[in-house]
Amino acid sequence: MRARSPRNDVVAALRLVPVRWAAALGLAMSTGAALAESYDTIELGQTFNRETCMTKAENVFYRYKNSNGGGHVARANWVVYGWDLLPGDQDAVIMCPIVNGVVDAFLVVHSEGTETNRDFTVEEIRWLWNQ
């Protein structure tokens, strides 16, 4: 059996460097989808009162879902949610807060998908809101 020398250990370690870098690069690239997670927020504008805002938001999400596909619409106290909207499995919320006596609607669209899909969803909802 041949004796191991420190030099042989260094040479063996250096041979593994490219493998370790490739593994690290592969791990970094595999988590790239999580890094694409993002959201867009826009102001939709003022409405007469909260109920008008909520009803309009709910109608917008149902019209969007009927045109483009998607999952669920739900209403809460001052927000309306749209989950799993297509394309790209977008989640969205239209908020109807009252600030200083004024109801100003805001849209937030969140996804782990592409910016193109998110932009489409934002613009489509904005267009439906303004109809």
- The CATH architecture that domain 37-129 belongs to is 2-Layer Sandwich (3.30)
Q: Tokens at residue 92, please?
A: 């969205």
CB 82 within 8 A of CB 73: yes
- The DSSP call for residue 3 is P
Higher pLDDT, 34 or 126: 126
Read off the pLDDT of residues 20-50 as tens digits, 9 standing for 90 and up: 433 333 433 344 444 468 999 999 999 999 9
Read off the pLDDT of residues 67-94 as tens digits, 9 standing for 90 and up: 999 889 999 999 999 999 999 899 999 9
**H or E segment and range at residue 80:** strand 79-85
For residues 55-64, give the mean pLDDT. 98
